[in-house]
Structure 1
Amino acid sequence: MSPLTYLVRHPSAGLLFVQLLGVLLYPAMEDTQIGRALFGAFGLVVLGLALHVVKRSPVQTWVATVLALLVLALSLVDVLLPTPWLKWLISMVEAVFYLYATASLIAYMTADQHATTDELYAVGATFTLLAWAFAHLYSVCQLLLPGSFAAMLEPQAARTWMELMFLSFTTLSGVGLGDIVPLTPMARALVMIEEFAGVMYLALVVSRLIALTAIKR
């Protein structure tokens, strides 16, 4: 089976691969204007792949398409007429999209009593989607409430996207490693909600698929 055929058969694998590739590429995209442009283009690729993965029913397709088109339209307006309020609005809509994609993938993984190969890839893709969603929520929090997050290096500076993504991954996984600290009540509330979401995801979704895989074997 060719790699392209494999990805067509297992779309969740493609989404997971692209998101993990983004984690490796994002650090090189934040420092230059060209890098930031590539950063935005790469985000649209992830958006498109997530849209493709969640097309499980007409209703899911319609809702996901509307959210994706809204993100694209707002991003184009921000390029032509950049304003501060557009940035937090885009991040909020992206967070809603990724949360919806997460819910759609969880529904897909729990729809039957079989653990397919694509569903196992969906476990990782769902985790990264959830991490992306909370990173966007942290970005909204920081834009609306400056000083929401601090770090050991340059504690007064606004945290970069990669720092917020790092905070999201460490919080969602429950490892607690990192130097990014939430300071405002809203920032701490978001971190607590993500901690709860990470624990429940592992306890309810991942453990169920592992059990189904063991039963099948």
Structure 2
Amino acid sequence: MRLTEAIGRDLLARRHTALLLAIVGMFAVRPFLGDTGAATIAYSVATLLVGLVAILTIQVDDLVGERERLLLQRRRRRLVGWALAASAVTERVWAFFAPSPELVVVGSVSWLLFFSYVTWSLLRSLLKQREVTGETITLSVSIYLLLGICWGLLYVVIFARHPEAFQFPTPTPSDIGEAYRFPILLYFSFTTLSTIGYGDITPLTLQARYAAVAEGITGQFYLAILVARLVGMQMSRAATPPTNPPAHDRRTEDPDR
């Protein structure tokens, strides 16, 4: 029992690292497993794992704040978070048994709302940090990756409604099934977020173009604000004098000197 509690406390303290590892694991599934049927199932399981770790993370982060607002915040976030997670998970399970184009749109919107809520909650937690630690860095990276996931889901919704919204080198949009749609548009999302822009996938409609522009701007502003925030926290910590210096640092002056 003590070992289990110790492991739980350690995971709780490193929850942002766990979230980052879950996201990286989700990204690694498709490249390593390819386009097999097992890869599709593994990718869905990895996505569900990311969602589970994310919602547990924001619930713990909710414990940091003003005490009088603590209970209200916990209830609200727990209700909203689990409601969005339940709708997204239900879509994933339903899609295995009765896939349909309408379900793709509903599911993508559900996951988009869920990950957007998680990203916003984690961003608020990041802005409340007072010092730079390893967990602060992993939290920052996780938020950046979650931004790419959110926009990838937005592109899936746009593509499902308007298949002519994007131009692909090969195959044509009509040949792209649901199982491969999100990984491809997720790749486009991160090349846009990081402003790499290879040009192999091109947005054609006004909605797709404006979404891509908004993502590029968001990525640049996030990095700029993040760096400024981290540097500011580090400088503030360095400028704050220690309140109680350790005993071994206190030196008494020798009167004979």
Normalising by the residue count of structure 2, what TM-score does the alignment of the two structures yield? 0.76
Q: 1:68 aligns with which of 82, 85, 89?
A: 85
Structure-2 separation of matches of 1:87 and 1:154: 20
Question: Contact 1:123–1:206 (CA<8 Å) still a contact in 2?
Answer: no
Aligned equivalents of 2:237, 2:58: Cα separation in 1? 26
* Structure 1 counterpart of 2:170, from 153, 160, 176: 153
1:33 pairs with one of 20, 23, 37 = 37
Query: Higher relative CO (CA 8 A, sep ≥ 6), structure 1 or 2?
Result: 1
- Paired residues for 1:89-128 under 5 Å: 89-128=106-145
Change beyond 3 A, Cα 1:176–1:6:
farther
Question: Larger Rg: 1 or 2?
Answer: 2
> Displacement of 1:176 after TM fit?
2.6
> 2:54 and 2:150 mapped to 1: Cα distance?
12
Measure, in 1, the Cα distance between the counterparts of 2:227 and 2:117.
18
1:24 to 24, 28, 32: 28
Q: Are residue 216 (structure 1) and residue 231 (structure 2) matched?
A: no
Moved more, 197-206 or 92-101: 197-206
Structure 1 residues not aligned, in runs of 5+: none
> CA, structure 1 residues 200+122, in 2 after alignment: closer, same or farther (shift >3 Å)?
same
Aligned partner of 1:162 in structure 2 is 183
What's the secondary structure of 2:136's corresponding residue?
A: helix
- For the residue of structure 1 that corresponds to 2:196, the secondary structure is coil
Alignment identity in percent?
A: 25
Aligned pairs, number: 216
1:144 shift after superposition? 0.8
Deviates more, 1:169-178 or 1:66-75: 169-178
Amino acid at match of 1:101: V
1:85 aligns with 2:106: no
Residues 166 and 208, structure 2, Cα contact 8 Å, conserved in 1: yes
What is residue 206 of structure 2 aligned with on the other side?
185
Once the 2 structures are TM-superposed, how far is the Cα of residue 13 of structure 1 from its aligned partner? Answer: 0.8
Out of 32-41 and 92-101, give the one that drifted further.
32-41
Shift of 1:37: 1.4
**TM-score (norm: length of structure 1):** 0.89
- Residue identity opposite 1:46 in structure 2: V
The whole-number CA distance in structure 2 between the counterparts of 1:74 and 1:154 is 27
Structure 1 runs of 4+ aligned residues shifted over 4 Å read 2-6
